[in-house]
Structures are given as structure tokens and as C-alpha cells.
Amino acid sequence: MNKDITLVVMAAGMGSRFGGLKQIEPIGKNGEVLLDYSVYDAVTAGFNKVVFVIKHSIEADFRAVAGKRIEKMVKTEYVYQETDALPDGFVCPADRVKPWGTAHAVLCCKDKVKEPFAVINADDYYGKSAFAKMAGFLKSNTEDYCMVGFRLANTLTENGYVSRGICEIENGELKSVTERTKISDCKYTEDDGASWTALPPDTVVSMNLWGFMPDLFGYAEEGFTEFLKEKINVPKSEYFLPTVVSGLISSGKKRVKVLIAEDKWYGVTYKEDKQKVADAINRMSADGLYSGL
């Protein structure tokens, strides 16, 4: 089905000095970063527009590292997540430095995105099947949302703890996401390692790959106003995308289908991860999976 679908890439959390950031260090042999492969997979799956959420302060660097290359592949637009991008009636505290969170990042796209869309992190590798599943869902005639989940065992690193959203699923729909901040070897701790709770290796976890309809913006805007009334003066408060989704599920306003990707997820959580990720990506490239990139 020939239907417009957009990929929203959250990249505003990146700092202004790309050279020192592990997330955008070159992975491919020609200087490609993880983001190049995600956009390639998305375009192959049928996405025909990419919207990058960045900050004005990193725009020049971002375009030089990834943007100019991606602009040749697909229609590309930019929006800017700044701390003063607030609804009428609210003024950003003078000492606010931290961005307002992932739901605010997506909300910044409301004037650029009028079609079904997916949301990803800029510094994760999700794999071809994840984008194929997402594209198929977004092109179907549905008002539901969706999430592509991964098996826990496919998202771990041997170099330290990871944080993952543990999903509760019922009849193929998401019921809740519980954040576990210290997971290692399919078990988690909440007391700095004094005790551990095992998790099945095939547990489905969220890696922030969401699929939405444009009506999300209305819900997110309403929720952001309520969030600001409570927490605008809390310096590290953030308005998170899973919080918005969870609220819509619990209120019965939206159903969120869970699609499961069996691919291995890749990311550079620790500096020691980089070589393993680069080796895996370059093997896939050598097998012809990224021809022309």
C-alpha cells in the first residue's frame, strides 16, 4: 500500500561536540554512524520522510556527521527541541538546562508530521525486521498505536548494567512498561547487587521504538500542560513518552499493539561495546545488507 509514513528520530540529547560522544562515533568503514543504518532500514521498509529532533546548537555538527548523507536518501526535515519551547502561558526557568524529555521531543514535531509515524532513538540499531514490522503496521488502516519490542537476551551487553523497560503484554497488547535500571545477564537488582531477581531471556523489553497516529500530539500537548503545572520548577523533571502511552492505555483511550523483533539490538552503552557493534555492522555490510550506503 502506498501510504506516507514518517520516521521521527530523537537526537536532541546529543551534545554539541560530536567527537567525544560514543553514540555517533563512526561504526562503518566509510564513517557511517548507527543512525545511517536505521534510516537505511526505514527507507527500505517504506518510510518516505525523516524528521530529526535536534538542538540549534548541534545543527551544523549533526548535518556534517549524518544529516547531509541522509538528506540524499530520503526527504529530511529538522525540528528543534529547546527548553523554551513551551505552551502559551509558561516561561522556562532561567536555570533550566536539561531538555524536557522524550514526549516533549516528539511534541516538537507536531507542525511537521501529519501522517502515521514511528519514533526511534538516534543512537540505537534496531534491525531490518523491526522497521519492516513497524512500516506494515503504520500502513494498515488502524487508529491503534504500536510498539516494537525486543527479547531481553538480545539487548544486553557483557560490559555492565543496562536499563530496560520490561513489558507486560496481554493478548498481543501492551498493558504496562516497568523500568528496570540495573539489569545484567537476564536478572535485575534494586539494591545495588545485594539481591537479584531473574528475568526470562525471552522477556519483551521496550527500546523506544514506537508507532503512532497524528492524534498523539493532542494527547501529548494536553499532558505536557498538566506536567508543567506540577513540575516546571523541578530542574531535572522530564516528560517521558512511555508516561504518555501508559496514561492512554490506562484511560482506555488507546490500544497499543506489541510487535516483536527477533533481531539483535545494538548500541554503544559502554566504550567497550563499540568494537563488537562495529564488527557486527560491518559483517552485515559485507553480506550486502547495506548496499549503496
Chain segment 138-154, per-residue pLDDT in tens: 999 899 999 999 999 99
Pull the grid cell for residue 264: 539483535
The more confident residue out of 12 and 1 is: 12
Mean pLDDT, residues 102-122: 96
Mean pLDDT, residues 64-79: 92
Q: Which of 145, 124, 161 is nearest to 267 (CA)?
A: 124
- Judged against a pLDDT cut of 80, whether residue 15 lies above it is answered with no
**3-state SS string for 265-291:** CEECCCHHHHHHHHHHHHHHHHCCCCC
Q: How confident is the model at residue 181 (pLDDT cuts 50, 70, 90)?
A: confident
Q: What is the CA radius of gyration of the chain?
A: 19
DSSP strand pairing (124-125 vs 266-267): antiparallel
pTM: 0.92
Pull the grid cell for residue 78: 529538522
- Judged against a pLDDT cut of 50, whether residue 275 lies above it is answered with yes
The region of weakest confidence among 20-29, 211-220, 228-237 is 20-29
Measured between alpha carbons, how far is residue 42 from residues 9, 126, 183, 267 in Å?
11, 10, 29, 17
Q: Which of 181, 180, 172, 113 is nearest to 146 (CA)?
A: 172
Going along the chain from its start, the domains and CATH numbers come out as 6-141+206-252+270-286 (3.90.550.10)
Q: Which of 169, 147, 127 is nearest to 266 (CA)?
A: 127
**27: Cβ contacts below 8 Å, ≥ 6 apart:** 33, 34, 37, 274, 277, 278, 281, 282
DSSP strand pairing (117-121 vs 204-212): antiparallel
The region of weakest confidence among 63-67, 71-75, 172-176 is 63-67
CA distance 256 to 269: 28
Q: What is the DSSP string of 79-92?
A: EE--TT---TT---
Chain segment 16-61, per-residue pLDDT in tens: 434 455 556 788 888 888 999 999 999 999 999 999 999 998 888 8
**76: Cβ contacts below 8 Å, ≥ 6 apart:** 49, 50, 51, 52, 67, 70
